[in-house]
Amino acid sequence: MKIKRWVARREANWQRLHHLLGQVEKRGLQYLSAQEIQELASLYRSVSGDLARARTHQVGDRLIQELQQLTTRGYHQIYQGSRHQEWAAVGEFILWGFPRVVQQTWGYTAIATSVFFGAGIIAWWYAWTDPVFLEIVVPDRLITMVRDERELWMGSILGIEPLASTNIMINNLRVSFSTVGGGITAGLVTLYILVLNGVFIGAIAALVGQYGLAYPFWAFVFPHGSLELPAIFLAGGAGLLIARALVAPGQYSRVDALKVYGTQAAQLVFGVVALLVVAGVIEGFFSPNPLFPDVLKYLVGGGLFALLVLYCRRVKRVES
């Protein structure tokens, strides 16, 4: 191998790789175009081959060292840097991506919320005026405990907090995933789950209200409900997004609509899971704990809900 001719032929590639790596090291991989990223990967493989040839033909320690440094920089940015970029993307989604998709899909979440509360208000009215309806919706043991013993049932969680918290998380996640997945039935199952849960909450609200236990009941619900209920509404919105793609794709084909709306639904689900995990911990360890006064529970619930609203209203300013 004629060293000088080989170096002259390959040197342009080395300089180009050096230039691209300098851009990545200063600004990050995301600032390169797709074509430049492909070029970077191709040049890295080519220069790695050049390094192997240089070592085989003993072209000189200085050139080998320069090529070694170039390939080391390339490896760090392409492989180590890609992992950094992945974590950076996760952080970007948590800080800005999730609030953005919540804002983009707020109409679907609003529909899910309205269905839930609409069903809850109707159920509350019927349960308050018709004992038969109350007995149909609410289990007998809960009615007996509230009516005859004037007690709530949350005390059963005390002493088994870790198990109760885990079971609560699993149940809430199951309900939420069913709500999202119900979108494939044109949203019918999604709406059914929202109505069913709204009816149950409305009937329970009537029961505890009739027997003077509303204040401690809502003190129990507020801390975790401030996150759990919004998570269910977001899951309902995600299910309705999928239904929209199937029933009314609009300007898209159904396949493309599923990609667009399905991506938004999946992004909502990430937030739903996080909210339900936190809510499950609160419901297992804080909400039923008699050591915390009811007024504190109301304050914690209100504070968490306010923080959630502020978080979902975040807007990333674009630098000019």
User: What percentage of residues in the chain have a pLDDT greater than 90?
Assistant: 52
Residue-wise pLDDT for 86-137, tens only, equals 566 677 788 888 999 999 999 999 999 999 999 999 999 999 999 999 999 9
- The stretches of the chain forming alpha helices (DSSP H) are 3-27, 34-57, 61-75, 81-92, 98-104, 106-129, 131-137, 140-149, 161-181, 188-210, 214-247, 254-285, 294-312
What is the rounded CA–CA span in Å between residue 250 and residue 282?
A: 41
Over the chain (320 residues), the average pLDDT of each successive run of 10 is 78 86 77 76 85 79 83 77 59 85 96 97 96 92 89 70 75 93 96 96 95 94 95 97 93 89 93 94 90 95 96 73
Angle between helix 214-247 and helix 106-129 axes, rounded to 10 deg = 130
Q: Is 302 helix (H, G, I), strand (E, B) or coil?
A: helix
Residue-wise pLDDT for 170-208, tens only, equals 888 999 999 999 999 999 999 999 999 999 999 999 999
Average model confidence (pLDDT) across the chain: 87
Confidence (pLDDT) at 297: 96
Stated pTM of the model: 0.74
Confidence (pLDDT) at 220: 93
CA atoms within 13 A on the CB side of 53: 12
